[in-house]
A and B are shown apart, each in its own frame.
Chain A
Amino acid sequence: AQKVTQAQTEISVVEKEDVTLDCVYETRDTTYYLFWYKQPPSGELVFLIRRNSFDEQNEISGRYSWNFQKSTSSFNFTITASQVVDSAVYFCALSEVYSGGGADGLTFGKGTHLIIQP
Chain B
Amino acid sequence: ETGVTQTPRHLVMGMTNKKSLKCEQHLGHNAMYWYKQSAKKPLELMFVYSLEERVENNSVPSRFSPECPNSSHLFLHLHTLQPEDSALYLCASSQEGWGILDFTSTDTQYFGPGTRLTVL
Contact = CB atoms under 8 A, between A and B. Distances in A.
B99 A103 contact: no
21 contacts: A31-B100, A43-B116, A44-B2, A44-B111, A46-B111, A47-B1, A47-B108, A47-B110, A50-B108, A97-B100, A97-B107, A101-B97, A101-B98, A102-B55, A103-B30, A103-B31, A103-B56, A104-B107, A105-B48, A107-B45, A110-B40
Interface residues of A, number: 28
B102 A103 contact: no
Contacts of A42: 113
Interface of A: 4, 31, 33, 35, 37, 42-47, 50, 91, 95, 97, 99-111
> Mostly helix, strand, loop or mixed at chain A's interface?
loop
B43 A91 contact: yes
B7 interface: no
Given A35-B108, A47-B1, A95-B107, A109 B100 contact: no
Contacts, number: 77
Interface in B61-100: 88, 90, 92, 94, 96-100
A37 B88 CA distance: 16
B45 A45 contact: no
Contacts of B56: 103-105
